[in-house]
Amino acid sequence: DADVTQTPRNRITKTGKRIMLECSQTKGHDRMYWYRQDPGLGLRLIYYSFDVKDINKGEISDGYSVSRQAQAKFSLSLESAIPNQTALYFCATSGGTERDYGYTFGSGTRLTVV
C-alpha cells in the first residue's frame, strides 16, 4: 500500500468549478506539502503545513486554498478553476525520524481545466 495517497488520480473539470484534491499519509509525518509540476518549470510549492495548526503559503498560492484536517490529511482546493491551473499536482510529506531523508511523494493528480 502506498504511504502517501492522492485522490483522484485524474480529473477533468470546467472553468469556474470548485475542485478539491486530497492527500492522506500513513508515514506519521508532521509536515505536508502541495506542489504543482509543469513542463519546463519543475515543481513549484503551493502551500505547506508543518502541523495541523501551521499552514503557510508557498511560491504560487494565488487561486488555491488548503485544509489540514488531521495530521494525516492535507487537502488542496481550487475555488474557481481556470485553464492555467491545468497541471500535475503532487503531495509530499516529511518529518519524524526521517526528517533529514527528504520528501515522500504521492503518485500525483493530473488535473485538466477546460
Partner 1 sequence: AQRVTQPEKLLSVFKGAPVELKCNYSYSGSPELFWYVQYSRQRLQLLLRHISRESIKGFTADLNKGETSFHLKKPFAQEEDSAMYYCALKGGGYQKVTFGTGTKLQVIP
Binding residues (CB under 8 A) for partner 1: these are: 33, 35, 40-45, 48, 50, 56, 58, 90, 92, 100-108
**Would you say 3 or 79 has its CB closer to partner 1?**
3
* 3-state SS, one letter per residue, for the chain: CCCEEEECCEEEECCCCCEEEEEEECCCCCEEEEEEEECCCEEEEEEEEEECCEEEECCCCCCEEEEEEECCEEEEEECCCCHHHCEEEEEEEECHHHHHHCCEECCCEEEEEC
**Would you say 44 or 73 has its CB closer to partner 1?**
44
**Would you say 20 or 50 has its CB closer to partner 1?**
50
Least Å from the CB of residue 27 to partner 1: 13
Least Å from the CB of residue 14 to partner 1: 26
